[in-house]
Structure 1
Amino acid sequence: MPSLIATLLVRLALFRQKASKTEKTADALANIFKVHDTQELHDVHTRRTTVLHALPDYLLEEVSGFFRTCVDDMDEPDLWDASVVLLTTVSDDATSPVHYHPVRVSVVLEGDVVVNLPRLADAFLVMFGLIYALHLSYPKGLTNTFEFTQKILLGLDDSKLSPKLQTLKN
């Protein structure tokens, strides 16, 4: 079984190819990769963050309600309507689509902050574990992203993949 890092690097290469070939997702993916390329350090955390932001765009899924951002010195945004959210808190009011050095990333379930973590990948994994363990529904509009995480990245279920995800696996 290939390592998770190797799988992520392969997916990152696929996302770059997709960004250059399709019009609909090209702008969103190009913006993510532009920010990635400007980073001084390209470590595993940077790559994981890039992949987590690129995957839903690649799968043409809506992430606006799932990935949310707030500034550290401001009040936390109203999350009462949020069933599942990853809230990234940044130190400045940057408009970047991806934040590689956040103050914290909060896992929000049913409108309540459950845990604060230093990196997006850590928060995503904890949030996925909570959803899986508590038998919660995946966020609306991100079913393919979570199915990909469950079945391909984590290998938790051997059932049949949707055609869209089957192309990613191959």
Structure 2
Amino acid sequence: MPVAICQISELPPQRAVLHIKWKGHSAYEDHLDLSQSLGSISSLDTASLSSSKGASPATSPSPLPTSTRNVRSASEWPSPFPIPALSLDVEQKLRKGNEAYEKTKKSIDVTRDIKTDILDKIAHAAFDIKAYPERTLSHFPEHPNQQDDSSLEQQRKLLVDASKTAKIDEKFVRETMEITFSLRRREIVDDKPMVIEVQDRWPALFFKEQIDAEFFRITNKMLLRTFRAAVDNYTPKLLRLYRARNAAFGKAMDDVMAKLDDETSDILRHRKDAALRGLPVFLREDPTELFKECLETDADDVALQGVAVGILYVLEDCGPGTSTRVQNIAIILEERVVLEDIPDTPTALAYLFGFLYALNISYPKALKYTFDTLQNVFMEIGPKCTQRVRSLKNKLAL
């Protein structure tokens, strides 16, 4: 008889049916709950599995990049749900564990790597199956219970009013943005509105907290936390690659590394900045397509003209011959500043990446390898990447 469990260690020594159940009021607030259940898992031979610790919560794999705008397949949930093939290493460890159990009746300890592999493969298999019954809704969720277009439109209007008050009711904004996600997502995906139109109808979407929250609603990944952790991990590796092959990239990479070498304070911050600013150069793309600069005395329309997607550094105007300081960092979309007062380059890139998902904007063609790297390497979203990015990913794994 199927047995519902919460931890792997609770599995009985015989075959059992494992149900993964997610609970909580807000998926974004508790960082664990998913927007939809992975469903039931078929019979799993657990004779060789045991652990003193509970299984790590799995994050459902994210949708493919907005640049492809693919939707999930139209297949139905299988019953029972078949356990997908695991990695060769994990399969061998489980096979040896089963053989040892048959002889000694002692279970093996399940390491974090084994649990992660099992849960990742199950999650990927689940995501390959469509999440919604109607094909036309396969790329955005259905409305919440007892809600329709009319009721959600009323909620949207209240949200607009709340977004314009001097003191923002953050709890109301957070809850109403969660409720109206299905209406907002359908408008953005189907109607493809301009950024200025989205700003008018959904101003709260351009709040810093809501960029992070919206990205989680779409991908089930924490935007800032995941990106910052990746930057911490990859910065020293990227800088080593840049220095090792500096001569191959000419003046653009020389400028990035020379600026880093000239810094004498807050070195960690500048190392992260250099790692990210050098990324387009290493991928043989033009960094000026992404990173823009202007003086604080420059006219706004000049700095924004022709910029569809970019990060703008507003520099202090100290006169010729003096080093300049960054006064402000802003994000530009469709020649408009949509977010400013950003503390550093990693945060700016994370928010920009989040905006592309939240607004369903395709990656700029001139920066496809850079954003492919941010997606597949930094955020670990999507099963496929270009050969150039795969080569970089392999180098970073060494």
| TM-score normalised by structure 2 residue count | 0.38
The one of 131, 140, 158 equivalent to 2:365 is 140
Pairing of 1:19-38 with structure 2 (within 5 A): 19-20=246-247, 22=248, 25-38=249-262
CA distance in 1, matches of 2:243, 2:303: 35
- Considering fraction of residues, name the structure with more strand: 1
Cα distance in 1 between the residues matched to 2:363 and 2:375: 11
Q: Which has the higher contact order (CA 8 A, sep 6+)?
A: 1
Q: Does 1:107 align with 2:107?
A: no
In terms of Rg, which structure is larger?
Answer: 2
Cα separation, 1, equivalents of 2:275 and 2:304: 25
User: What is the letter of the counterpart of residue 316 of structure 2?
Assistant: S
What is the RMSD computed on CA atoms of the aligned residues?
2.1
The answer as to whether partners of 1:18 and 1:26 remain within 8 angstroms in 2 is no
- Report what 1:86 is aligned to: 311
Gapped regions of structure 2 (runs ≥ 5): 1-112, 114-228
**1:60-81 deviation per Cα after TM superposition (whole angstroms, max 9, x unaligned):** 1123232111111232225242
The DSSP-based 3-state class of the residue aligned with 1:124 is helix
Q: Residue 46 of structure 1 corresponds to which residue in structure 2?
A: 270
CA distance in 1, matches of 2:319, 2:386: 36
2:312/2:331 contact within 8 Å kept: yes
Query: Residues of 2 paired with 1:85 and 1:148: CA distance?
Result: 16
CA distance in 1: counterparts of 2:298 and 2:250, whole angstroms = 33
2:292 is matched with which residue?
A: 68
For the structure 1 residues 166 and 81, does the alpha-carbon distance in structure 2 shift closer, same or farther, using more than 3 Å as the test?
same
Per-residue deviation at 1:160?
Answer: 2.1
Mind listing any 5+ residue stretches in structure 1 that lack a counterpart? none
* DSSP-derived class of the 1:142 partner: helix
The yes-or-no answer on 1:8 pairing with 2:232 is no
Count of aligned pairs between the two proteins: 161
Distance in 2, matches of 1:147 and 1:30, equals: 24
Q: Kindly provide the amino acid, as one letter, of the partner of residue 48 in structure 1.
A: K
| Native 8 Å contact 2:312 2:329 kept in 1 | yes
Please name the residue that 2:149 is paired with.
Answer: none
- Name the counterpart of 2:392: 168
- % identical equivalent positions: 25
Matched, 1:55 2:279: yes
Q: Hey, what does 1:130 align to over in structure 2? A: 355
Distance 1:68 1:167, change over 3 A: same
Q: What letter corresponds to residue 113 of structure 1 in structure 2? A: V
2:244 to 2, 14, 17: 17
TM-score by length of structure 1 reads 0.85
Task: Report the Cα distance in structure 2 between the residues aligned to 1:165 and 1:93, rounded to whole angstroms.
Answer: 39
